[in-house]
Structure 1
Amino acid sequence: MNEGAATLFNGARLTPTQRRIAHCLVERSVTAASLSAAEVAELAGVSQPSVTRFAMALGYSGYPALRRALRDLVGGTADDGAEDNAMQRAIKAEAEHLQRLREQLGTLDDVQRAADLLVASRPLPVLGLRAAAPLAGYFGYFAAKVHPDVRVWDTGGTSLLDRLDQAKVAGAGAMLALVLPRYPRESLDVVREAKGMGYAVVAITDSAVSPVAEHADVVLPAAVGTRLVFDLHTGPMAMAMVLLQAMCDADPEPVQRRLEEFEAAAARRQLFQG
């Protein structure tokens, strides 16, 4: 995500339709300044008047004024890759997402703050429903090697709130919420409930204007790819592993001890072939 483009929307109270427009512009921050209002409307799946109202809600006279502000922030235009096929363009867009994530990580304050919150939580709940479920499982698998009590919540239902209660009684002080488009309503409900119970919430999501952002203590945005039939989650997975590394760095001695214990147990049980 381009930090400069996102600053235009920070603090704005946006409707769900306006959040879709903001997400579209942030995700395409390199080329957004060259898009017409009609093109933005088509990409975001909204009407052209909605784009104009969005610009005016941010305090601009209309969309052209907002586009000038975007041009001033990000400048330039990107190579459209006209000679590439659709698959190549999708991967190229992912590479651009990772480049923006690299730039974003030039400042690690949010990542380190998130790591400190999660390392201290016993147990550590990890929420990821629907599209985010595989990412929750991936993070949880590795986090369990360095954290004594990781609880992955990747299925919904009424028992999810029971698990939230149980973790809180057991001592949980923070949770990691992985919330990706199309933003499951149940995930947002759990995050709101967790906040009401006193949890600190760290959210990995696709954009700083994601619906979960307003309920989280720390937001770690990483764009998803939208060029294929189904989204590519390369960026959020990279962010999750960066966060786990920061957790390891925040408390290195217990981490090293647990890793050594795991390796000894794996060798004794002959868990791996290589």
Structure 2
Amino acid sequence: MSESAAARLQALFDGKRLTPTQRRIAHCMVRGAAEVPYLSSVELAELAGVSQPSVTRFAVALGFDGYPALRRHLRESTPASESTAPESEPNEYQQAVAGEIENLRRLADFLADPAPVERAGALLAASRPLPVLGLRAAASQAFGFSYFAAKVHPDVRLLDEGGTMLGDRLDAARRAGASTLLCFALPRHPREVVEALAYARSLGLTVVTVADSSFAPVAAHSDLLLPAAVGTGLAFDTACAPMLLGRVLLEAMADHIPGAESRLEEFDTQAAARGLFAD
């Protein structure tokens, strides 16, 4: 199933008001877009970890008479070329790479409309300071963004540790003038991240979130959510698409910061003078 299958499913769900259980089913369907048109309601329920009646109610919420009608729609909308089986079955490592390529293609489709990322870049550039949140699996994404962002943004504050101090650091950032919080949220989603976003919005911060799905638990507490799927083919999730989306956000942010290019040139000059790098 090509990337268009997941895109068609996502388009089917966009704009619909779904319950948390229904968002879970939708997320499961997007992740398994190739198999979904051939699953029974019982099989889909087992895959999503919900009850069979929940699948039926989900189909009705999407405007279909029931799950059979939804499945029929999915089958009829699948081009014959997408059901062609590969000549040989790739091994699990190749499948993991192929899954990440698929995620990057979906990200490319999302970026066909640059408006959301450009809006996010403007919000991040205008926030002084700029707090960047990422806990557990998302900590490395937040760190990587913060490392590069500090080269062009005058005040980036990395929030990569949870606990009771997290609220204090959000308070401090807001008092210092922060207007936007950037959050990287990846599965499994820590409860304290969801709580931190809710608290940040109560402080008046605009929340921009990079998450693995539009149906992630953080969606309800995000003003602007930018989706980038993670790979699930290995024992531990892979996050090529979220990392790349973070770099795209850096580009968009730098475009809204006057003098960003001169700051990068100044850093390169200083790095050469100090002999920071071997190359």
Contact 1:176 1:201 in 2 (8 A): yes
Answer yes or no: is 1:239 the counterpart of 2:240: no
Amino acid at match of 2:44: V
- Where do 1:100-139 residues align within 5 Å? 100-139=106-145
Moved more, 12-21 or 114-123: 12-21
Describe the SS at the equivalent of 1:232.
coil
Amino acid at match of 1:273: A
Task: Kindly provide the CA deviation profile for residues 102-146 of structure 1, in whole angstroms up to 9, marking residues without a partner as x.
Answer: 111111110001111001000001110111011111111111111
Describe the SS at the equivalent of 1:172.
coil
- Cα distance, 1:36 vs. partner? 3.1
Q: Which of 256, 262, 266 in structure 2 is aligned with 1:261?
A: 266
Contact 1:127 1:136 in 2 (8 A): yes
- Where do 1:46-61 residues align within 5 Å? 46-61=50-65
Describe the SS at the equivalent of 1:84.
coil
> Matched residues in 2 for 1:245 and 1:203: separation?
16
Task: Kindly provide the CA deviation profile for residues 154-190 of structure 1, in whole angstroms up to 9, marking residues without a partner as x.
Answer: 1100000000000001000001111111211101111
The structure-2 alpha-carbon separation of the partners of 1:45 and 1:273, relative to structure 1 and needing over 3 Å to count, comes to same
Describe the SS at the equivalent of 2:13.
coil
- Cα distance, 1:71 vs. partner? 4.3
Contact 1:9 1:58 in 2 (8 A): yes
Describe the SS at the equivalent of 1:175.
strand
Q: Which of 21, 24, 28 in structure 1 is aligned with 2:25?
A: 21
CA RMSD of aligned residues (A): 2.1
> Matched residues in 1 for 2:157 and 2:8: separation?
36
- Cα distance, 1:28 vs. partner? 3.2
The structure-2 alpha-carbon separation of the partners of 1:213 and 1:250, relative to structure 1 and needing over 3 Å to count, comes to same
Moved more, 193-202 or 241-250: 241-250
Q: TM-score scaled by structure 2?
A: 0.90
Which structure 1 residue ranges, 5 or more long, are not aligned?
none
Amino acid at match of 1:259: L
* 1:191 equivalent in structure 2: 197
Amino acid at match of 2:70: L
> Matched residues in 2 for 1:238 and 1:203: separation?
14
> Matched residues in 2 for 1:206 and 1:196: separation?
24
- Cα distance, 1:45 vs. partner? 2.9
Task: Kindly provide the CA deviation profile for residues 7-57 of structure 1, in whole angstroms up to 9, marking residues without a partner as x.
Answer: 333344433332221111123335533333234233323343332232233
Q: Give 4+ residue runs of structure 1 displaced > 4 Å after superposition.
A: 71-76, 78-82
The structure-2 alpha-carbon separation of the partners of 1:27 and 1:250, relative to structure 1 and needing over 3 Å to count, comes to farther
Answer yes or no: is 1:147 the counterpart of 2:182: no
Q: Which of 63, 86, 97 in structure 1 is aligned with 2:103?
A: 97
Answer yes or no: is 1:272 the counterpart of 2:277: yes
> Matched residues in 2 for 1:241 and 1:71: separation?
36
- Cα distance, 1:271 vs. partner? 1.1
> Matched residues in 2 for 1:165 and 1:37: separation?
47
Contact 1:146 1:258 in 2 (8 A): yes
Q: Which of 152, 160, 164 in structure 2 is aligned with 1:158?
A: 164
Count residues with an aligned counterpart. 273
Q: Which of 157, 171, 186 in structure 2 is aligned with 1:180?
A: 186
Task: Kindly provide the CA deviation profile for residues 59-107 of structure 1, in whole angstroms up to 9, marking residues without a partner as x.
Answer: 3222122223444666453556551111111111111111111111111
Moved more, 254-263 or 196-205: 254-263
> Matched residues in 2 for 1:56 and 1:241: separation?
39
The structure-2 alpha-carbon separation of the partners of 1:31 and 1:202, relative to structure 1 and needing over 3 Å to count, comes to same
- Cα distance, 1:58 vs. partner? 3.0
The structure-2 alpha-carbon separation of the partners of 1:159 and 1:73, relative to structure 1 and needing over 3 Å to count, comes to farther
Moved more, 205-214 or 9-18: 9-18
Describe the SS at the equivalent of 1:68.
helix
> Matched residues in 2 for 1:42 and 1:80: separation?
25
Describe the SS at the equivalent of 1:250.
coil
- Cα distance, 1:208 vs. partner? 1.3
